[in-house]
Structure 1
Amino acid sequence: MKLPRLVIAAPSTGQGKTTVAMGLMAALRLAGQEVSGHKVGPDYIDAGYHCLATGRPGRNLDPHLVGEDRIVPLLLHGAAGADIAIVEGVMGLYDGRLGTGGFASTAHVATLTSSPVVLVIDVARQSRTVAAVAAGMAAFDPTINIVGVILNRTGSVRNDAEIVAAMETAGLPVFGLLPRDEQLATPSRHLGLVTASERDDSDEFVDLLGRVIAAHLDIPALLHAARTAPDLEAQAWNPGTEVVAEGTERPVVAVAGGRAFTFRYAETDELLRATGCDVVGFDPLVDTALPAGTCGLYLGGGFPEVYASELAANRELLADLRGAVESGMPTVAECAGLLY
């Protein structure tokens, strides 16, 4: 199956790959492309921003959780109908589960999906050494197809030219230079970025990011690089083949959402629907009762501790929830949902 695609990677966390990946998704969408966003590993937060940038569910590619064989089928499932897939890496390109030689790293996922890799490098306080870092990463594992670099946080015309010339000597194309811009900074806390659903300016921020990236990156060259990816010999994952639907009734499964409960995989809802369930969201911050006809509960993760007083004040919903759980209603409560 043909799927143009790129993996956005970096030498380490903090280089700007999330900013570039989100912005590239938004810029491609502004250019008329149907874009599918993916994240290496179990990260819910970045996937939420991918959803905003692409208008499609953000997806995860995590060999540690699902095994190697499901990575390409999940990629194809998430990218169904898309013109291009952008895969945001995690940590440094070769950083994976410790003691495994890089299992579940960005490089591992790039290998499993036969995807071209674009490096994002923060060039602040560096010059020609940036090219040495990029060349070393390319030489470390020649099976990883590093097709070029994006220079982030550039600040000096003369220094930029020095780095670009060194990259040319190293044989690595430069797809663009992204200047330092505090408007592009995203607020963080203990588990990463502040979630997209908690920011009132998320849509405006992603739109700004897309326009900035479109102005400073060579979008046609990146599209060309994405189209060099080989065809994938696999079938897209299908939730209907994973589960069995029984009966004709469609029981309602109430799924917590809103600002306090944002951690959930898109495939969870898809699997529930494939079993014949109606998945109905509710917001514990504002809703005073569970959805009508609720037969099952799913309380996922998020940051309810940030909204503890508001959640505690919604006593009507708490009483309804408590009664449902005490009555024996099937309930999954994990991570922050279990605390709630």
Structure 2
Amino acid sequence: MVGTPGRLPRFVVAAPGSGHGKTMVATGLMAALRARGLAVSPHKVGPDYIDPSYHGLAAGRVGRNLDPFLCGEELVAPLLRHGAAVPFAADIAVIEGVMGLFDGAIGRDGFASTAHVAKLVEAPVILVVDCAASARSVGATVHGFATYDPEVNVAGVILNNVASPRHEAEARAGVERTGLPVLGSVPRLPQLVVPSRHLGLVPVAERHPDAVSAVDALADLITEYVDLDALLAIALTAPPLTAEPWTPAASLTDSTPADPTLRRAKPVIAVFGGPAFSFTYAENVEQLTAAGAAVVVVDPLRSGGLPAGTSALVIGGGFPEMHVTELAKNRRLLGEVAHFARTGGPVVAECAGLLYLGRALDGHPLAGVLPMSGAMTPKLTLGYRRATAVADSPIVRAGEQVAGHEFHRTAVAWDDTRPAWTWPVADGSTAAEGWAGPTVHASYLHVHGAGHPEQAVRLVEAARDFARALLDVTQVLERVDLHFSETTRPQP
């Protein structure tokens, strides 16, 4: 289906608001199209890690994010093309929206909304509408969303949560007055609801067999109740994309060390993964590899220690609070992380990683690298941030600004402070957050590497420096050992 360069059939799955079933429908569509033999490129609007894990499971390739706030408007289409090219060319791209179609960054006139991304990638929009509390009035809802912004191409509707044939007939009649086609009508089937908790759905990494069953069931559901041929015809109306694909190597061009001897060295960078640390943007890891690192994934629930020769450590986001008992039991790994940090190894931690580096989480002892303890709270902290770096660290320089996002229900209590970031708060005050020093950068803030490629280059450089320092120390110690062995050797 792809054919010529830039030709990528695609559509966006959107809704009037959260809770209409976007993720269920989008994931089911990805799986159903894949079952037809199509290579599906899965994408998610906004700063989300959990939905893309289901997308990846459904499509059989990494789920990726499209976020103008984190990466810049100019990179949204190139990142879409990158995702559709890796590991091989996709036949179609399916993009799940975020919140309501026109909901974006607060106070930014819809910036980074689903509608914004749909316009940036010139994709038709399929509107999923929950019909549980209405019938014919669904038509009015669709009419409003289809006409609100003439630049957004709402091309079809999928009715969700339909109770009966009579209910469906009324809802269809309402939508038909708008002139838009109803592409499907999904019945009310509560047994297919995917389990959720305090930050959304339970990630695929934590419930893989159940997740596979859920995705298979969604594929069957969508295949039965949605007109996939009509949907593919709409996807084919998307024009060719003129933007060149984003690539990890090209993104680093302006930041890559000029010294070829530095580029040849391949320091080992350990990246935490597994059920407790599944929140990492794929592009961030791809950039580390492109910058010259040998990336090794470590599951702290199972690993006996850091990989041999580890020269930098990246601990991303996830759900450490759900696995803290098991994490605390792995004293060997905790000890190695603490020793690595104490001896000057470069460490970068985001959100869950920040908590892991603290003394304790909900009373369970952890690495003790940072002078603080964490705890679960009832308050959800989320939102985009324009942050300014307070101090130099392995990835940023004081005074630099980044675009990031927070998403957590935990809080930390510091015994000492050395903030990583500051950012303005709505009440006019300034927030200070995280911890930063010459070798450790830890924060609640998540940053997308495509928006800040210099961070990958700096971390790899710091890893090389640390590896060389270790080599120098080892050589000195070996010479000392040799000297003492020779001077203490019995004389004939």
TM-score, with length taken from structure 2: 0.68
Q: Structure 2 residue aligned with 1:188, among 187, 193, 196?
A: 196
Q: Structure 2 residue aligned with 1:277, among 283, 293, 303?
A: 293
Counterpart of 2:251 in structure 1 is 242
CA distance in 2: counterparts of 1:206 and 1:280, whole angstroms: 29
Could you list the per-position Cα deviations for residues 138-171 of structure 1 after superposition, in whole angstroms to 9, with x for gaps in the alignment?
1111111000100001111112112112211210
Counterpart of 1:10 in structure 2 is 15
Per-residue deviation, 1:286: 1.1
Counterpart of 1:213 in structure 2 is 222
Considering Cα pairs closer than 8 Å and 6+ residues apart, tell me whether 1 or 2 has the greater RCO. 1
Counterpart of 2:431 in structure 1 is none
CA distance in 1: counterparts of 2:246 and 2:53, whole angstroms: 21
Q: Structure 1 residue aligned with 2:174, among 158, 166, 170?
A: 166
Counterpart of 2:27 in structure 1 is 22
CA distance in 1: counterparts of 2:332 and 2:40, whole angstroms: 41
Query: Once superposed, what is the RMSD of the aligned Cα atoms?
Result: 0.9
Per-residue deviation, 1:205: 1.2
Q: Structure 2 residue aligned with 1:254, among 258, 270, 294?
A: 270
Counterpart of 1:298 in structure 2 is 314
Helix, strand or coil for the counterpart of 1:231? coil
Could you list the per-position Cα deviations for residues 76-133 of structure 1 after superposition, in whole angstroms to 9, with x for gaps in the alignment?
0011100000000000000111222100000000011110000000001211000100
Per-residue deviation, 1:31: 0.5
Per-residue deviation, 1:207: 1.1
Total equivalences in the alignment: 340
Q: Structure 2 unaligned runs (5+)?
A: 1-5, 357-492
Percent identity at matched positions? 56
How do residues 215-234 of structure 1 correspond to structure 2 at under 5 angstroms? 215-234=224-243
CA distance in 1: counterparts of 2:342 and 2:219, whole angstroms: 48
Counterpart of 2:332 in structure 1 is 316
Whether the 8 Å contact between 2:269 and 2:310 is mirrored in structure 1 is yes
Counterpart of 2:72 in structure 1 is 67
Structure 1 stretches of 4+ moved >4 Å: none
Per-residue deviation, 1:242: 2.0
More helix by share: 1
CA distance in 1: counterparts of 2:212 and 2:82, whole angstroms: 26
Q: Is 1:107 equivalent to 2:115 in the alignment?
A: yes
CA distance in 2: counterparts of 1:146 and 1:280, whole angstroms: 43
Counterpart of 1:325 in structure 2 is 341
Whether the 8 Å contact between 2:263 and 2:291 is mirrored in structure 1 is no
Structure exhibiting the larger radius of gyration computed from Cα positions:
2
Whether the 8 Å contact between 2:270 and 2:307 is mirrored in structure 1 is yes
CA distance in 2: counterparts of 1:100 and 1:276, whole angstroms: 37
Counterpart of 2:465 in structure 1 is none
CA distance in 2: counterparts of 1:242 and 1:15, whole angstroms: 37
Counterpart of 1:31 in structure 2 is 36
Counterpart of 1:263 in structure 2 is 279
Could you list the per-position Cα deviations for residues 304-328 of structure 1 after superposition, in whole angstroms to 9, with x for gaps in the alignment?
0111111001101111111111111
CA distance in 1: counterparts of 2:242 and 2:42, whole angstroms: 20
Per-residue deviation, 1:247: 2.9
Could you list the per-position Cα deviations for residues 148-207 of structure 1 after superposition, in whole angstroms to 9, with x for gaps in the alignment?
100001111112112112211210100101001122201111211111111141111111
TM-score, with length taken from structure 1: 0.98
> Match for 2:104: what amino acid?
G
CA distance in 2: counterparts of 1:334 and 1:317, whole angstroms: 18
CA distance in 1: counterparts of 2:308 and 2:187, whole angstroms: 51
Counterpart of 2:162 in structure 1 is 154
CA distance in 1: counterparts of 2:242 and 2:303, whole angstroms: 46
Counterpart of 2:379 in structure 1 is none
How do residues 39-78 of structure 1 correspond to structure 2 at under 5 angstroms? 39-78=44-83
Per-residue deviation, 1:249: 2.3
Helix, strand or coil for the counterpart of 2:314? strand
CA distance in 2: counterparts of 1:56 and 1:320, whole angstroms: 33
